Amino acid sequence: MKKRIKSKLKGSRFERKVALELSKKGFLVYKGSASKGGWYEGHRIGVGDLLAINKERKLIIEVKYNKSKLTQKERSGLIEVARKVGAEPYLAYWEGEIKLERVKA
C-alpha cells in the first residue's frame, strides 16, 4: 500500500511540474480532478491529466513519469477525445527533463 501512495504522490508532483512548465510557456493549464480523466458525451473517460490552452493551441496531455506506462487503450482514447474536441494529444514524461511528445496512432 505504501508503494501505491508514493507512486501517486510522485505522479501528482510530476503533473504539477508539467503544468508549471506549460504555464511558463504561455499556456493556461487546467488539471483534471484526481487525474481520473473527465466526462465526455455522458461517459466517464480516463484520458487527459492536463488541458493546456493558449490563443493558438489546445493540448490534452496525459502525464506519465515513465513513457512506457502509456497503454494502447490510453493512447487510443487520448487521440479520439482530442480529435473530437479539436485539440492536440500529447504525452508528458520524464527523461532527465520534462519531455512533451505528440501522441500518434
pLDDT digit string (tens) for 55-102?
A: 999 999 999 988 888 888 889 889 998 999 999 999 999 999 999 999
d(CA 76, CA 60): 13
Check if the beta carbon of residue 86 is closer than 8 Å to that of residue 58. Answer: yes
pLDDT score of 43 more than 80:
no
Q: What is the CATH number of the domain that holds 72?
A: 3.40.1350.10
Check if the beta carbon of residue 52 is closer than 8 Å to that of residue 42. Answer: no
Indicate the residue type of 35.
Answer: S
**Mean pLDDT value across the chain:** 85
Domain tally, the chain: 1
Nearest of 43, 27, 54 to residue 84 by alpha carbon: 43
pTM, entire model: 0.82
3-class state of residue 44 by DSSP: strand
| Sequence-ordered list of residues with C-beta below 8 angstroms from that of 24, at least 6 positions apart, any chain | none
- Domain around 32: 2-102
Q: What is the pLDDT of residue 34?
A: 56
